[in-house]
Amino acid sequence: MTRYFTKDHEWIDVAGDTGTVGITDYAQGQLGDITFVELPAVGTAVGKGDAVAVVDSVKAASDVYTPVSGTVSDVNGALEGEPELVNTDAEVAGWLFRLTLGDPSELAALLDQAAYEAYIAEL
């Protein structure tokens, strides 16, 4: 499994032709307490950079953009009853959705862990 990041603070773990997407720990920290997560419908075709989910917090509602194009194959149903999982475990149990990759070459434009850490250190 390989993890990539966007400058909009999403992460994607890629295994084969499946990507699991969520927001970074940095992002959840900026948002504050998560109160609701609106997830996409399974089967939805998405393009790279599309707003696919919404994370509501005590501070604001924030769109979550898909790092790559594909088709939504699964959503994290646990977030319906426990949206705070995004706060407590943003980069594991707090994942948002999975997708079947439409164009794996799009991954090349994303940041690796070291590049993302360097990016947030400058914010």
pLDDT at 1 over 90: no
Rounded distance between C-alpha atoms, residue 110 and residue 123, angstroms: 18
pLDDT at 11 over 90: yes
pLDDT value for 116: 98
Percent of the chain's residues with pLDDT above 90: 98
Rounded distance between C-alpha atoms, residue 39 and residue 64, angstroms: 10
pLDDT value for 26: 97
Question: Which fold does the domain 2-121 belong to in CATH?
Answer: OB fold (Dihydrolipoamide Acetyltransferase, E2P) (2.40.50)
In the block, which residue shows the tokens 């997560």?
A: 37
pLDDT tens, 39-71? 999 999 999 999 999 999 999 999 999 999 999
